[in-house]
Structure 1
């Protein structure tokens, strides 16, 4: 079996919904489904979050981050965090937990290092996407944060399968984009219940076409990807070859420029990134 055959096998399993997740992913998926229930209110959401100590701590931390704590008033309870964040941001936090759990059982050092770098990249893109959405493209910031968290989920799943399919780590990086990412990503995101609009935006990111100035959720993800100081260990897209190259991207936004906005928002981006890395 060569690399492309391995991708096809994993993609076929994913398209059938025959995915192998660690047990804790299934528990997190149940939590995610509960939070998406339109009848889920603040009290119920707080009880669900409190049942997971790690998620509870992250919820309070992100509620106190610069992005969400405009008044500067710190809070210490999960209930207060839920009230400040809202259920949609909590869904993004659970999504972050799920993505990290997918690769959590990998112990082989080189694969574990790639998973660690992929999460660093993901956390940067998610934080940048939230700020770019709010200040540049004016798409929904909560959706952008969620999309940024999910945009590399196919890569996490592929790396988690590398123990059974070592061939996936052979060959050229372009093979992943052309033959692995899209087909595997469709199956994994369907299994995880990713909304169609988010999936389409991530799919447009895979194609790699971006408008300048950016306007859509897909544009938001591509720009965040280009500006991320940590690139994906699986494939580095043309146009984002170096951080210095990415920093040359600039255009007028309202009465300012992209570079001015990102400089003003640097603390906010770092604060969100730090919470996602906990």
Structure 2
């Protein structure tokens, strides 16, 4: 059942119990429909803004582009997906890490793709300001996890450290996406605890689907 904009714009009622469960379920239904298509959503506004600014420099060296892109989870995931597509990988072999993906795609395409995604994120980020503390916490957690994964892989395993960094970077994509969807429901925007509950329960499966 489609959820109309009119329903989302109605005054927020003091819901609880079964009514609140129905709101949560409606959001999850909408997410399931959207995941069937192309999904672009904001992660953290400041990161998207910095990415957009840096990539506008036409003289940026390749190493710097790789470093910039590697700190933005959605851009990194999209570039990995593109590098593994039939157009850029005729034999079907996936890129093992972000550096390999950038080498395969070329600097110009990486810059164009990353900039397009970042600008799209900026257009969608304004409504997420209500969850700014939570998005910042998720962002910081993603960066710390990525750094720790790289160090552990390099020190204790034979896993490619860059591949481990990428895994840490994108492991909370589902949580960012759920926050973006939550702001579209007035009755959920005023209930951060309810959103946190949904994220804990569902973000891992949704993240796998996004990737």
When normalised by structure 2's length, the TM-score is 0.50
Evaluate the alpha carbon distance shift between residue 158 and residue 50 of structure 1 in structure 2; reply closer, same or farther with a 3 A threshold.
closer
Report deviation, 1:30.
7.0
CA distance in 1 between partners of 2:112 and 2:131 (Å): 31
Is the 8 Å Cα contact of residues 74 and 170 (structure 2) preserved in structure 1? no
Report deviation, 1:17.
3.0
CA distance in 2 between partners of 1:129 and 1:49 (Å): 24
Report deviation, 1:132.
0.8
Q: Check if 1:46 corresponds to 2:119.
A: no
CA distance in 2 between partners of 1:107 and 1:162 (Å): 13
Report deviation, 1:153.
0.2
CA distance in 2 between partners of 1:4 and 1:41 (Å): 39
Question: What is the aligned partner in structure 2 of residue 154 from structure 1?
Answer: 174
Report deviation, 1:8.
2.0
Question: What is the aligned partner in structure 1 of residue 204 from structure 2?
Answer: 182
Evaluate the alpha carbon distance shift between residue 127 and residue 9 of structure 1 in structure 2; reply closer, same or farther with a 3 A threshold.
same
Is the 8 Å Cα contact of residues 122 and 151 (structure 1) preserved in structure 2? yes
Evaluate the alpha carbon distance shift between residue 101 and residue 153 of structure 1 in structure 2; reply closer, same or farther with a 3 A threshold.
farther
- How many residues are treated as equivalent by the alignment? 145
Report deviation, 1:4.
3.0
Question: What is the aligned partner in structure 2 of residue 136 from structure 1?
Answer: 156
Question: What is the aligned partner in structure 1 of residue 126 from structure 2?
Answer: 107
Evaluate the alpha carbon distance shift between residue 103 and residue 7 of structure 1 in structure 2; reply closer, same or farther with a 3 A threshold.
farther
Counterpart secondary structure, 1:106: helix
Report deviation, 1:46.
2.9
When normalised by structure 1's length, the TM-score is 0.40
CA distance in 2 between partners of 1:20 and 1:164 (Å): 15
Report deviation, 1:176.
2.6
CA distance in 2 between partners of 1:119 and 1:100 (Å): 18
Structure 1: runs of 5+ lacking an equivalent: 56-96, 190-278
CA distance in 1 between partners of 2:156 and 2:149 (Å): 10
